[in-house]
Amino acid sequence: MTVRACVTGQPVTYSRSPLLHGYWLKAYGIDGAYEREEVPPEMAADFYRSLAARGYAGCNVTLPNKEIAFSVLDEADESAAALGAANTLWLDGGKLHGASTDGYGFIANLDASAPGWDGARNCALVVGAGGASRAVVHALVGRGFDRVVLANRTLERAETVASLFGPRVRPLAFDRIAEVMGEADILVNCTSLGMKGSDPLTLDLTRLRQEAVVSDIVYVPLMTPLLKAASAAGFRIVDGLGMLLHQGVPGFRRWFGVTPEVTPELRAVLVEDLRAKGQLEA
Ligand code: ATR
């Protein structure tokens, strides 16, 4: 019988998850399907509770439903419990399980794309304090960084996120970023700045140590202004597309029973999709 999964949220029209999981289903010759389900937040709780009745083995959850999905889980994994949000749901023994795989995807992408990036684990500098930032901060703390400095335009939001994770995460006002730039082993943009149609994130990278890695979770455009500047200055850069690819691995394994690989061929398919939609460049 065909195993079915889907991406849910509102809107799901632009989600690249069907392309990602569709690629893997074909590559591994699995009798499976990965669909799109437009699920407005007011219908989300019912939808997730009735996944089995709808014939789904599980689903991905995108904006704005991640917190609602978390609230209806029977079992939340450690990441979902820490963030109060879930992006990957699966059924097991009649129970609804959930995980937040963004942090896993973020770390797995760095491990694959910039080996040794976490050699020192002294200080990570994260800019932005939204939902994506929480997942990244949680993952960096989990990887054992002594200090995660969280800079945000609205300082109170950074303080709120920091308070979830204890003393290793330190909030910082946006205009004080330069003060910690020289200590960072990794700099991560978790704001929406740099996204196509938005202002760029302009940071002075001159104090950044040459071994530092610069990473962006924005992948439209693939080469954000921040990554371009970092690359031109000779830093190792890691783009946001890899995080998208890697965050899909745990879900695919749960639904279809195969641990899929993130390969250059898969990445090329996604890059081609970005190119076709004019989203490679700013
Ligand atoms: P997500 O959940 O996807 O991370 P979000 O919750 O909308 O998205 O968060 C967007 C992030 O980008 C926030 O950190 C936001 O800063 P504020 O908390 O101060 O709003 C940041 N951001 C958006 N536009 C910005 C701008 N023009 N300058 C600085 N930061 C900006």
pLDDT of 240-249, one tens digit each? 999 999 999 9
Res 144: pLDDT: 97
Distance CA(58)–CA(55), nearest Å, equals: 9
Output the CA 213–ligand 1 centroid distance in Å.
22
CA-to-CA dists, residue 80 to 67, 71, 73, 88, 279, angstroms: 9, 10, 10, 9, 31
CA angle 17/190/97 to nearest 5° reads 45
Residue with CA at minimum distance from ligand 1 atom 23 = 192
Res 5: pLDDT: 98
Average pLDDT over residues 112-120: 95
Residue with CA at minimum distance from ligand 1 atom 5 = 130
Distance CA(105)–CA(99), nearest Å, equals: 12
pTM summary value: 0.96
Q: What torsion do the CA atoms of 169, 62, 7, 102 make, to the nearest 10 degrees?
A: -10
Output the CA 132–ligand 1 centroid distance in Å.
10
Q: Which atom of ligand 1 is nearest to the CA of 199?
A: 27
- Average pLDDT taken over every residue of the chain: 97
CA-to-CA dists, residue 134 to 84, 149, 191, angstroms: 10, 12, 11
Three-state secondary-structure class, residue 40: coil
From 63, 100, 192, 247, give the residue whose CB has the most ligand 1 atoms within 8 Å, as the site to mutate. 192
* Phi, psi for 271 (deg, rounded to 5): -65, -40
What's the pLDDT band for 281 if we cut at 50, 70, 90? confident
Residue 160: beta bridge partners? none
Question: What does the block give as tokens for 257?
Answer: 């029973």
Cβ neighbours of residue 2 under 8 Å, at least 6 residues apart? 31, 32, 33
Residue with CA at minimum distance from ligand 1 atom 12 = 191
Average pLDDT over residues 146-175: 96
Res 30: pLDDT: 98
Residue with CA at minimum distance from ligand 1 atom 6 = 130
Res 77: pLDDT: 97
Max Cα separation, the chain?
Answer: 58
Amino acid at 55: G
Q: Which atom of ligand 1 is nearest to the CA of 158?
A: 18
% of the chain with per-residue pLDDT over 70 = 100
Helix 17-27 and helix 264-276, axial crossing angle in degrees, nearest 10:
140
Question: Are 219 and 278 contacting, i.e. CB atoms less than 8 angstroms apart?
Answer: no
> Is pLDDT of 282 > 90?
no
Average pLDDT over residues 112-131: 96
> Is pLDDT of 272 > 90?
yes
Distance CA(157)–CA(164), nearest Å, equals: 11
Average pLDDT over residues 49-70: 98
Just list the catalytic residues. 66
Measured from CB, residues less than 6 Å from any atom of ligand 1 are 128-133, 152-154, 157, 190-193, 199
pLDDT of 185-237, one tens digit each? 999 999 999 999 999 999 999 999 999 999 999 999 999 999 999 999 999 99
Q: Which atom of ligand 1 is nearest to the CA of 157?
A: 18
